[in-house]
Amino acid sequence: MPKRIRTHAPKRAPKDYRPPSWHERQAEAQRRRDNPSSWSAAYAKAREIRSGERWKNHRLMMLARFPMCQCNECKGERLPATCVHHIKPLAQYPELAYTDSNTVPLFECCHDRIHAEIKKGDRTGNQFSHFREETSE
């Protein structure tokens, strides 16, 4: 009989468990901010990219190249593009921040719809097969 592998922590907290104090939580948050491989560092980096000159220029360049929304429903023929979305999320893929095929011009409402789909778990990127064809070299 194969050994059962425990896939998650036991439900009950150990007897000596006590919730972390406010100071411990602050110290932990600070440690995470200082660690460049952590999430908050990744989000800080993403914020830095979004507020940078290079992103502003890339964004304007993409909007000039694709003045219409490139979502699969609009296909560049329905609504104006008003924002530029990172298909692979900026926080996880900062190296694709300025890659044409990863930065898709969208209409605001389409952008919202796509983020709602991502929240529901669609991370396939299939929403952009139209755009992928347009930008494949």
Kindly list the residues in this chain that would bind Zn ion in the complex (CB under 5 A): 69, 71, 74, 85, 107, 110
Q: Which is nearer to Zn ion, 49 or 74 (CB)?
A: 74
Q: How far is the CB of 71 from Zn ion (least distance, A)?
A: 3
DSSP state of 104: E
Q: Which is nearer to Zn ion, 69 or 97 (CB)?
A: 69
CB 86 within 8 A of CB 97: yes
Cβ neighbours of 64 (radius 10 Å) = 10
Q: How far is the CB of 84 from Zn ion (least distance, A)?
A: 8
Q: Which is nearer to Zn ion, 26 or 126 (CB)?
A: 126
Work out the widest C-alpha separation in the chain, in whole angstroms.
63
- β-bridge partners, 83: 106
